[in-house]
Amino acid sequence: MSAALDIALCALILGVGLATVVGRGVFRAVIFFITYGLLLAIGWARLGAIDVALAEAAISAGLTGALLLAAQGRLRTMKTEAEPPARARLPAALAGLSVACVLGWAWFALPVDQAPDLSQVLPESGVGNPVTAVLLNFRAWDTLLESVVLLTALVGVWMLAQDADWDAALGPRFHARPNGVLANFGRILPPIGLIFGVYLVWAGADDTGGAFQGGTVLAAVILLAMMAGALQPPSVAHPVWRVGLVLGPLVFVLAGIAGALLSDGFLTLPLTIAKPAILTIEAALSLSIAATLALLVIGPPDDQGQDA
């Protein structure tokens, strides 16, 4: 019975993945991709990887869907040819296939027996959630660089703005009918999402959750409030938002330098202060992740409110 469930889930995931790439029409592919993320989240949940399932659910339901649908709508209003040319299909398929093969090979080549036993070293990390322990302590370098990558991506998106629009607020001018369904929804949901996002960050030290999951939920509710017209997107120069964007990487780097001065080296956290340090870094990091992801989806400043 349990096997039948797994087989059905795998069949759905593969089928939706296939439908995403072979079907004609950008809109259909986008919708299939949204459901693909949902099925992946169920798959991770089935495997017991709750933190990954949570991140996948928050990113696919909250951010990618809205981003891709906005992109599709923009392509349509710009009357751009949305279908890729036929001659691009074969190279794209080959490139995708080779990436899949390399990933598959890497998976089988993993040295399973050499992997360190996390349960043995977990007490040295200061936190109880093994995912948080790896992300914020044992592999803190990766996480620090990832947070900088996010920031760099946002700057890259801003570079797409036209000179005349630079001082305008980010993204299109969102508006909604006052007291309409959308405007009310944009006022009711964000407070609930705010509590849930903060809970995820706080609980992430010892339970399911963490800075990335909480930050993504916060980003989604910020995005929703902006799309519903309840919160105006800032301009590029907005001081509070700028501080929010760099706070996470900044606190992380400062903590790393403190580790180099007071402890064994850059980004090493002595056990006595590991937990408060990790919670501080996570709090700052989730603020920055929330602001960065939300503004990435909102896009560059666009004064005309539509295609330029």
Partner 1 sequence: MTVWLHLVALVLLGSLGGALWRVWRGPSQADRMMAAQLTGTGGVAVLIVLAALQDWSLLIVAVALALLAAVAAVGFAKSQSPDGAGDPEEIKPAGDWSDLNASEAGDG
Partner 2 sequence: MADLATYALTAIGLVFFVAGTAGLIRFPDTFSRLHALTKADNLGLGFIVMGIGFQTERWSQLAVLLLIWALALLAAGTVAQLVARAALTTGKDE
- Per CB under 8 A, contacts with partner 2 among 154-183 are 181-182
Q: Does 157 bind partner 1 (CB under 8 A)?
A: no
Q: Which does 194 bind (CB under 5 to 8 A by kind): partner 1, partner 2, none?
A: none
Residues 27-86 that bind partner 2 (CB under 8 A): 27
Q: Where are the beta strands (DSSP E) in 130-199?
A: none
Specify the DSSP class assigned to residue 235. B
Dihedral (Cα; 308, 185, 188, 248), 10-degree rounding: -30
Distances (CA, A) of 182 to 187, 193, 197, 212, 293: 9, 16, 22, 27, 22
Among 57, 170, 255, 269, binds partner 1 (CB under 8 A): 57
Cβ at position 34, least distance to partner 1 in Å: 5
Query: Pick from partner 2, partner 1, none: which does 251 bind, CB < 5 to 8 A by kind?
Result: none
Q: Is 139 in the site for partner 1 (CB under 8 A)?
A: no
Q: How far apart (Å, rounded) are the C-alpha atoms in residues 235 and 198?
A: 25
188 interacts with, out of partner 2, partner 1, none, CB within 5 to 8 A per kind: partner 2
Q: Which is nearer to partner 1, 146 or 207 (CB)?
A: 207
Minimum CB separation from partner 2 for residue 69, in Å? Answer: 11
Three-class DSSP category at 289: helix
- Examine residue 192 and tell whether it contacts partner 2 (CB under 8 A): yes
What is the residue type of 148?
V
Alpha-carbon distance of 194 to 197, in angstroms, equals: 5
Cβ-based nearer residue to partner 1, 59 or 150 = 59
Give the number of other Cβ atoms within 10 Å of residue 295's Cβ: 25
How many residues interact with partner 2 (rule CB under 8 A)?
8
3-state SS, one letter per residue, for 42-84: HHHHHCCCHHHHHHHHHHHHHHHHHHHHHHHHHHHHCCCCCCC
148 binds, among partner 2, partner 1, none (CB under 5 to 8 A by kind): none
Q: Which residues bind partner 2 (CB under 8 A)?
A: 25, 27, 181-182, 185, 188-189, 192
